[in-house]
Amino acid sequence: MQRSLRMQHWMGWLAAVMAAVWTSLAVAAAPVVVLPVTGAIGPASAAYVSRGLQQARDQGAQLVVLQMDTPGGLDASMRQIIQAILASPVPVAGYVAPGGARA
């Protein structure tokens, strides 16, 4: 009787560990996409970011990181990027890098 309870206890722990590992693997399988954006923002930059966000969605990415080092640029192109970010079903994070960069 006691042996049976011990076996049930260990089987419960094993099931819990397996569930935790399975969940971790499922989360780790979704990629994080990094889109470096450098130089002045223009129509090519806006198209690049929009295309990158679409590809991230198609890949099932869990996050898109915009790594930026830019002095700014054309207002219309920046607005296109903003609209693409707002329309993206994939969360987008902005990151200014490397040290001394600007955005």
Any idea what the CATH number is for the domain that residue 87 is in?
A: 3.90.226.10
The closest of 28, 27, 45 to 36, measured between CA atoms, is: 45
35 contacts 67 by C-beta, under 8 angstroms: yes
Rounded CA-CA distance 25/27 in Å is 5
64 contacts 56 by C-beta, under 8 angstroms: yes
87 and 102 together in one domain: yes
Segments forming the whole domain that contains residue 84: 31-103
pLDDT digits (tens, 9 = 90+) for 10-29: 666 666 667 777 766 655 67
Look up residue 37 and give its DSSP letter: E
Q: Is 0.75 surpassed by the pTM of this model? A: no
Look at residue 61 and give its three-state secondary structure: coil
Given this model, what pLDDT does residue 25 score?
Answer: 60
pLDDT digits (tens, 9 = 90+) for 32-55: 999 999 999 999 999 999 999 999
Given this model, what pLDDT does residue 12 score?
Answer: 67
Strand pairing report for 63-69 and 32-38: parallel
9 and 36 together in one domain: no
83-102 average pLDDT score: 90
